[in-house]
Amino acid sequence: MRLSGIFLSTTLLAGLAVAGAQSDFDPNQNVWSLTNGWVRASFQLTPDGYFLTQQIADLQSGDQWAAAANRPTSPVRLQTDHAIFDANTQFMLVAQYAQSIAPGGIRQFIVLQDLKGRAQITVIFEMYDKQPVLRYSLKYKNLTSTTNHVTWINMVPWTFADLGQRYTAFRVNQWSVATKVQDFQPLQSLLDTGGTSVEVYSGADGQQCGWMALRDGNQRGLFAGWEFDGRTKTTVKQDGAKGYVQFSSTVLNLNHPVDPFNEFQTPNAFLGLFHGDWDEAGFRTQRFAESILAKPAPDSSTFPYVSWDSWAYGQQLSEQLLRRNADAAAAIGVQLFIVDLGWARGIGDWYADPAKFPNGLGAVSDYVHSLGMKFGLHFALAEADPSSPVLQANPDWTATDSSSYFNASPLCLSNKPTQDWLVQEAIRMIDEYHVDWILQDGQNMVKQCTKTTHTHDPADSNYANAVEGINAVVAAIQQARPNVYWENCENGGNMMTFNMVKSYVTSITNDASGALPSRSAVYGATFPFPPRYAERYMPQSDGFTPYATHSYRFGGPWVLMSQLADLPNSQIAFLKDQVQNYKNQRTDISGGKVFHILAPGANATDVIQSYNAASDTAIAVVTRAASSGPTYLFRPQGLNPAQRYTVWFEISPSVYSQSGAQLMANGFRVMLPTPYSSEVVHIEPQH
């Protein structure tokens, strides 16, 4: 089943190794095996020409996920107007080759052509050292003489033997614009064996984060994430009678045109292995995201930032007001000063309002910089007011999406003229106002648009406005101004995807909704995402108490939305102390494994902990809401059993000295004397 001209590098036949990751190809059996010493994944082009998954194995735990005997599975799952390419399609091997990739990984290409000559499919696998994860995508090349449309893809194309086990699926809601108690709620579902699917609807304006985990009763687990910001539907189901569990993940309303001899590449996705509980699934996902996918953060010694945001004043801004708040912010240790919505002449008219800033917004930025802070600016890039000059001149640039953001109209970012204008406007705005940080906001960043007058296919706006829209616009701006960092803010965390992390250094998870919702957001979001992607906005309505500030201690950047210039000296002094405490602990939290011990509730005590193996330290935030007992018996997790630790508290004067084994087995009492009280627990090694 091979062409006579097939390219087989002798180096690759022996296996190409990079920092532990290697790919081996057996040309006699047409079998590929990728491994990094932790996991191994194997695939075969059978003698009959079917490209199939054999198994994925965890070499540390011994867990194996093998293809079901009566349910062949293939990484190739794609449909066009007139053809389906999957486990039942016969291919011949055109070429195969591998290349080293940073950091410490390998990328394997397997080029297949279907025997009917309709398409060339390139399967792309990636594996990285010290990551129990396989990343993958497909390229479809149209070999016909007519334009074809890719109408369906499967980004999670895995089917495995169920070994007679029962399985539980785990996913996490993202923020919902309509306030619901389910924001960032973790959801567990026991799969029935009759084939009923557990579903995840993810992407901008979706319901869940773009991630799912699965495990059986023996703690054998898988997790999957897909790198796409548009709407997707992902499912997992079990057919006990036929003995398999099956994943599927598709881009909704996909209708992407591919001209003759052109290519279409599916979004990347990844499949990981874990053995243990959901915290272990989350930790392995987070380490992969931080090491491989995520936009590099600013200096880890100063990030996540403590920020101030002007939204406490709404849109009633002025130069003098901002200068007064900048003085107060610098005095308490704020690092990033953000001017929110209301600075411009209008949404889509991205010039500073001269009535509010008679000396120019650049003068405010320069003053902020003189105080040692960075300067951030609100930018709703996918929106424009109908009266803005851009829409007055180009009324057809709007999308047909029904979303509305402060009465502005949605822009179609995959329309090339709109995109080009927006990129240039953003670069001008950054340069003119000396911007260090972009707070990207808006209502539904991936717009729906069915206009036939735009440069995208009218039936393909979900994909087009994700990949050729928001992705392309942000990438072009960031390439032009690489030293400006971006924050994802879509209505409080409504685009929590593994494509988002590649462009933004953090993401909002609660939109100034208060202390309890903030803790709930962090609790849920830190299953799939690293803590720095759980940014919190703290409104002034929370008050200035340890309960309030402790509710924002754990996670990514802490954003104060207070009228700082008007606070009494006692509250300024309190905030200064709390800001310093946050700075002292942020790196240990960011680099640690998160343990979700007790979920937040209105009448409950909640606990979240991080253990940082590099420093052998743990930090936990213990919070009592409206009711519950005056003490909580806390048993920390993840400590070194043989190490002796000192336990101390930020409020209580108590100090303990015990071994890790004693602390984890017996625990200790945390004092929570009244409703709405809290404590921060520190566990440090003794040397």
Q: How far is CA 152 from each of CA 74, 138, 140, 625, rounded to the nearest angstrom?
A: 15, 12, 12, 47
Collect the ranges in the chain with pLDDT lower than 50: 1-19, 181
Domain end position, chosen among 250, 266, 293? 293
Distance between CA atoms of residues 156 and 153, nearest Å: 9
**Angle (nearest 5°) at CA 219 between 218 and 223:** 135
Q: Measure Cα distances from 568 to 306, 487, 514, 574, 585 in Å.
A: 20, 31, 22, 10, 27
State which H helix or E strand residue 522 sits in.
Answer: helix 515-525
What are the C-alpha distances in Å from 217 to residues 164, 190, 371? 11, 11, 56
Taking the C-alpha atoms of residue 337 and residue 565, their distance in angstroms, rounded to an integer, is 13
Burial label for 608, CB within 10 Å (0-12, 13-18, 19+), is buried
Closest to 592 measured CA to CA, from 650, 535, 532, 551: 532
Whole-angstrom CA distances from 642 to 79, 275, 645 are: 56, 23, 10
Within a domain: 558: no
Task: Locate all alpha helices (DSSP H) within 397-514, ordered by sequence.
Answer: 416-433, 461-464, 472-480
Phi, psi for 431 (deg, rounded to 5): -70, -45
DSSP class of residue 191 equals P
Angstrom distance (rounded) from CA 270 to CA 286: 12
* Amino acid at site 461: S
Tokens at residue 378, please? 């609100």
Q: Which of 249, 275, 293 is the C-terminal boundary of a domain?
A: 293
Beta carbons of 56 and 273 less than 8 angstroms apart: yes
**In a domain? residue 155:** yes
In Å, the largest CA–CA distance within the chain is: 81
Exposed, middle or buried: residue 613 (CB in 10 Å: 0-12, 13-18, 19+)?
exposed
Q: In this structure, are residues 436 and 372 in contact, taking their beta carbons and an 8 Å threshold?
A: no
CA atoms within 13 A on the CB side of 166: 6
Q: Is residue 338 part of a domain?
A: no
Q: Evaluate whether residue 114 is within a structural domain.
A: yes
Picking from 244, 187, 177, the residue whose alpha carbon sits closest to that of residue 211 is 187
Tokens for 331? 């005095």
Q: Six-digit token pair at 381?
A: 């890039």
Give dist(CA 136, CA 49) in Å, integer.
Answer: 21
The encoded tokens of residue 617 equal 């330290």
Residue 21 CB coordination number (10 Å): 26
Contacts of 60 (CB under 8 A, 6+ apart): 38, 132, 275
- Cα dihedral sign for 536, 224, 599, 681? negative
What is the sign of the dihedral through the CA atoms of 596, 601, 607 and 609? Answer: positive
Whether 522 is covered by a domain: the verdict is no
For residue 455, tell me if it sits in a domain: no
On whether residue 46 sits in a domain, the answer given is yes
Cβ-count burial of 111 within 10 angstroms (0-12 exposed, 13-18 middle, 19+ buried)? buried
User: Which range marks the domain in which residue 668 is found?
Assistant: 594-685
Q: Is residue 43 part of a domain?
A: yes
| Beta carbons within 10 angstroms of residue 482's beta carbon | 8
Strands, DSSP E only, in 504-651? 506-510, 535-539, 558-561, 593-598, 605-612, 617-624, 631-634, 644-649
pLDDT for the residue 9? 37
pLDDT, tens digit, 9 for 90 and up, residues 518-552: 999 999 999 999 999 999 999 999 999 999 999 99
Model pTM above 0.75: yes
CATH number of the domain to which 267 belongs: 2.70.98.60
Count of C-beta atoms within a 10 Å radius of residue 686:
9
Nearest to 198 by CA among 135, 153, 246, 160: 246
What Å distances lie between residue 414 and 255, 398, 467, 591, CA to CA? 14, 11, 8, 37
pLDDT of residue 179: 57
Q: 141-184, pLDDT tens digit by residue?
A: 999 999 999 999 999 999 999 999 999 999 999 987 665 548 89
| Cβ-based burial of 242 (10 A; exposed 0-12, middle 13-18, buried ≥19) | middle
Collapsing DSSP states into helix, strand and coil, what is residue 428? helix
Choose among 207, 230, 51, 80: nearest CA to 153: 80
Q: Which of 293, 320, 340 is the last residue of a domain?
A: 293
Tally of domains in the chain? 2
In this structure, what CATH number is given to the domain that contains residue 677? 2.60.40.1180
